[in-house]
């Protein structure tokens, strides 16, 4: 039987590279398209000798051309951390709009299934807790986070339009906070910032009083959920994340304990529009996909801390950046 062909935009990024490895291991041909604005070719280095992998360096906001048949397209191209989309606001909006349009056009032309990587950020600073897929969100479109939030909300809208008008087989995964190896230490998210600060003996930067909550999912669990959604018959958004909610201060304290660091906690003012709570309702994923996270927080953090210990020298110290609650 001929191998199925998968295209992953943003495949050199944190989550994209884990998806690339998963599909290669399962016998697919994988084409990664990434312009490396926030991705890193090193994330694919261990896979580059695999003859089933092809890498194309390109901005998907420009027209995408792939000659071969394509069976699945996973659209993960986008800056995804607060520092990234604050540094690249126009690129974030373009990849969410033009990039999604181009990827959907390719899916339509190739009669491929299309999976959009959306985000819990479509819920904004939620007034409903936990967040169900039926919640429409509380987003400030002109605030500093609006470029990412609204790019993803538009991406969801055009994805559903291609489903309704062109009958493209679409999937939308709303990804909640995810962590694991290959995160960039200096991308401004809480876990990599805390780990790098703890390992360097620096103070851990906590915004506000640290009482804002997040729900952290290990990347292997997330990838398993995404794959189940891709091969399902669902065509509406599905939350994939870990519903075990904790405060940012609790996460900082956990990382101090697990790294054995004597670092202190440095409290800073809370950024504008920073969500106060974040917890997925995963009822749909459990009932429709048979998926729920399995990896315990401490087990996932052990692997993540190990990765950062081994790669710390490759990154800018977290003290040179500013962390976020994301």
pLDDT digits (tens, 9 = 90+) for 107-153: 999 999 999 999 999 999 999 999 999 999 999 999 989 999 999 99
Catalytic residue among 148, 162, 179, 218: 148
Structure token pair of residue 304: 């993540």
Structure token pair of residue 311: 């790669």
State whether residue 120 is helix, strand or coil: helix
* 3-state helix vs strand vs coil in the chain, percent to 5: 40, 15, 40
Q: Is the pLDDT of residue 325 over 60?
A: no
- Which of 6-20, 287-301, 306-320 has the weakest average pLDDT? 306-320
Query: Tens digits of per-residue pLDDT, 88-107?
Result: 999 999 999 999 999 999 99
Task: Name the average pLDDT for the chain.
Answer: 94
Mean pLDDT of 60-76: 97
Q: Is the pLDDT of residue 326 over 60?
A: no
User: Does the annotation count 148 as an active-site position?
Assistant: yes
Mean pLDDT of 237-244: 98
What dihedral do alpha carbons 9, 107, 231, 162 form, nearest 10°? Answer: 110
- Domains belonging to the chain, first-starting first, are 5-177+217-240 (3.40.50.720), 184-215+243-278+294-320 (3.90.25.10)
Distance (Å) of CA 249 to CA 72, 131, 204, 208, 213: 40, 21, 10, 10, 9
Structure token pair of residue 173: 């995964």
Query: Tens digits of per-residue pLDDT, 161-177?
Result: 999 999 999 999 999 99
pTM of this structure: 0.94
For residue 15, the model assigns a pLDDT of 98
Q: Is the pLDDT of residue 312 over 90?
A: no
Q: Is the pLDDT of residue 315 over 60?
A: no
Distance (Å) of CA 213 to CA 148, 228, 260, 301: 20, 27, 23, 17
For residues 211 and 246, give the distance between their C-alpha atoms in angstroms, rounded to a whole number.
9
């Amino acid at each position: 039987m001929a191998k199925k062909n998968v295209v992953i935009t943003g495949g050199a990024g944190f989550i994209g590279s884990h998806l690339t490895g998963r599909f290669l291991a399962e016998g697919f041909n994988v084409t990664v398209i990434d312009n490396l604005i926030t991705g890193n070719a090193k994330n694919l280095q261990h896979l580059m000798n695999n003859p089933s992998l092809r890498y194309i360096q390109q901005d998907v906001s420009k027209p995408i051309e792939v000659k071969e048949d394509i069976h699945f397209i996973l659209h993960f191209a986008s800056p995804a951390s607060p520092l990234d989309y604050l540094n690249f606001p126009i690129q974030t909006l373009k990849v969410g709009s033009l990039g999604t349009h181009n990827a959907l056009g390719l899916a339509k032309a190739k009669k491929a299934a299309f999976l959009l990587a959306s985000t819990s950020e479509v819920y904004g600073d939620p007034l409903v807790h936990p967040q169900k897929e039926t919640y429409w969100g509380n987003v400030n479109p002109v605030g500093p986070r609006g470029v990412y939030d609204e790019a993803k909300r538009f991406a969801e809208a055009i994805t559903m339009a291609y489903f309704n008008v062109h009958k493209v087989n679409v999937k939308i995964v709303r990804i909640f906070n995810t962590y694991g190896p290959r995160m960039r230490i200096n991308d401004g998210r809480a876990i990599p910032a805390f780990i790098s600060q703890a390992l360097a003996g620096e103070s851990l930067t906590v915004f506000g009083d640290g009482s804002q909550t997040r729900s952290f999912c290990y990347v292997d669990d997330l990838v398993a959920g995404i794959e189940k959604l891709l091969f399902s018959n669902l065509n509406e958004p599905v939350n994939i994340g870990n519903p075990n909610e904790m405060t940012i201060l609790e996460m900082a304290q956990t990382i101090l304990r697990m790294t054995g660091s004597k670092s202190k906690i440095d409290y800073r003012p809370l950024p504008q529009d920073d969500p106060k709570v974040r917890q997925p309702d995963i009822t749909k994923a459990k009932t429709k996909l048979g998926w729920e996270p399995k990896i315990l927080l401490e087990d996932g953090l052990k692997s993540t801390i190990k990765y950062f210990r081994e790669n710390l020298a490759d990154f800018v110290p977290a003290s040179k950046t500013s962390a976020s609650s994301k």
